[in-house]
Each structure stands twice: as C-alpha cells, then as structure tokens.
Amino acid sequence: MSRAENIALAAASLRKVSAVRAAEIAFWLAALAAFALLPDQALLLSEVTITGLFALSLDLVLGYGGIVSLGHAAFFGAGAYAAGLLTKMGVTDPLLGLALSAAATALLGFVTSFLVLRGSDLTRIMVTLAVAVLLKEIANRIPGITGGADGLQGVAPGPVLGIWEFDIFGQVGFGYSLAVTFVLFLIARRFVVSPFGWSIRAVKENQLRTSAIGIPVSRRLIVVYTLAAAYAGTAGALLAQTTQFVSLDVLEFHRSANLMLMLVIGGTGYLYGGLIGALLFKLVQDAIANITPEYWEFWIGLLLVILVLIGRDRIEAIPRALLRRLRGATP
C-alpha cells in the first residue's frame, strides 16, 4: 500500500478512538428521558447520578491511572463537608459552592497524591485507606465545625443560577446533578482521548516504557489523582447541596468499598462503567433489600466473591459485547 493510504488508514483508526457513538447518545437521551418522565423517582435518580459521578472519578484513578484506592471516600466526604460548610458561611450559590468545594478537594488530592506515587499496590491500598479513616477521625473529633456524629445540620443552598429552588421532591436536585455530571463527563471524555490522557493509560500499561519514551510518570499520576479528587469532591458537594445534610457516613469505608464494586460491575477504563455500575448497583441493592432489608450486604458480598472467581474479564466482556453489537463496530 502507498504511504498516503497508510496515513489515511492510521488517521481513521486513531479518530475512531474518540468518535462519538450512537450508544453514547442513546445513554444520555435515556438519562434526559428519566428526568422528564420519572419525576417521582427524582430523589433516587439524583442519588444514583451523584454516585455515578463519584464512581467515574474512581475510574480515572483506577481504570486509567491503575492506582488501587480503598479510600476514595476521603475526597467525596471532604467535598461534602466543604459544600455544607460553605453554605453555612454564607456562600449559598450552589455553583460557586461546587467550584470552591472542587478546588478544595483538588488541593487535598494534590497533597495526598504524593503518598500514592511510589510503593506497591498494598502500600497504596493502606495509605489511601489511612487517609480516609484519618479524615473521618478528624470530622468526628471537631463536632463544633462538622456536627460530629450528629451530622452537619442546616445546610441551605440558594436557588440554582438564582432561579430554581431545591424542592423536597428532588426534581431540581436531580436536574442539577445530572447537568453537572454531564458537563464533567464531557470534560473527562475529552481528557481521556487527549494525548495527555493516553500518556496516563500508558503509565498503567507499563511504567518503565512510559518513562523510557520520556513521559514523566509521577507528574502524570499527580495530575490524574488531583483531577479525580476534584471530581469526587464535586460529587460529594452535590450530595450535600441536594440532600442539605452531611453525615460522617460520607467518609465511611463502606462507601469506598461499594464504589469499587460499582465500578467493577460497570467495567473500568471507558468512563461509562461508573455511571452504569452505580445504576446497576442501586437496582440490585433495592431488589435485594426488598426481599431481605437487613442482610442485603450479604448478597452484595456474595456477588463480589462470585465476580472475582468467575473473572472480571469474562463479566466485563458482556456489556462491551452488547455495546459493540449496538453500534456494530470495534472499539
């Protein structure tokens, strides 16, 4: 083949990586339809959306950066407390509160990213876990500021864009969460198919090779960890604003563990995994809780064990195969 043909071929296959697929448009149209058609489910869907954004942020760290974190709730919780406290300090504009909370958690992510740069998976797991329990311990010990075990009461954000007041049915909350999640998703999607995003995937694939082609591995990990922290913090802030309450629960170990489960159910490394996983998790959790309200965690645990024993690859292949069939193309 001629050089020109090869160039055209190469350009086409690289373009395909970032091309928008029909299934993606369908996904977001479905989300929009849920907003329009299911107003009585708004509270639930709002929670799912926020959790989905949170899981998306873990995907950036785990699915792209390859860092196993067991303490991602640290950033979610920090964002939630930041947003809650901001409204109490008089910053009632939701979007401004969101931006400030995101900035605060980005700073926290930046500082703690240096802890996960080196070391084995085990060291990383323990350090991330320790950061999360540390934050929870702090939140627990300063009830004067955080409300301690009683939670942060009286979080009262103003109307969104000065127009829409948060209502008790969660309709505004859902719309607001969905819009923020959509915008952040678009940014993340753009980010992961950029040369910078590819260099982060490269770090996960092979650190030695990545540094041998001249890409500074540590700096890439710092950036993706910081970005993911900001995303997780935004998710936490959304929860604080839409539920108008923050409890120590936002920093719980369960939150980090369940988050990882959702992401793995939905699949890592393609951004939709977190969003789909959060929805599936909620559906499964509700279905089990309907049958056995107190012991649903047993079945979630069983699901995890089976998932690992059968093999994530084989299970992850299912949604991907479906996706492929839907758009009839290769990834």
- Which residues inside 150-209 make contact with another protein, applying CB under 8 A? 190-191, 193-199, 201-202, 205-206, 208-209
For residues 271 to 290, the per-residue mask of contacts with another protein, x marking binding by CB under 8 A and - elsewhere, is --------------------
| H-type alpha helices, the chain | 3-18, 22-37, 42-59, 73-88, 94-116, 121-141, 143-146, 171-192, 195-205, 207-212, 217-243, 253-266, 272-291, 296-310, 312-327
320 binds another protein (CB under 8 A): no
State residue 183 phi and psi, 5-degree precision. Answer: -60, -45
Q: Which of residues 35 and 75 has its CB atom nearest to another protein in the complex?
A: 75
**Nearest C-alpha neighbor of 256 from the set 74, 85, 9:** 74
Residue range at the interface with another protein (CB under 8 A); choices 88-96, 232-240, 275-283, 303-311 = 303-311
Backbone angles phi, psi at 246, to 5 degrees: -130, 130
Per CB under 8 A, 10 contacts another protein: yes
The residue from 103, 126, 280, 289 that contacts another protein (CB under 8 A) is 126
- Under the binding rule (CB under 8 A), the answer on residue 115 touching another protein is yes
Please, which of residues 55-114 interact with another protein by CB under 8 A?
62, 68, 70
Residue with structure tokens 């990990």?
A: 221
Nearest to 321 by CA among 8, 2, 23: 23
Contact call for residue 329 and another protein (CB under 8 A): no
Neighbour tally for 54: CB within 10 Å: 30
Indicate whether 214 belongs to the interface with another protein (CB under 8 A).
yes
DSSP 170-198: -HHHHHHHHHHHHHHHHHHHHHHTSHHHH
Among 237, 238, 239, 260, binds another protein (CB under 8 A): 260
Minimum Å gap between C-beta 284 and another protein is 13
Residue with smaller CB distance to another protein, 10 or 96: 10
| Binding residues for another protein, total number by CB under 8 A | 76
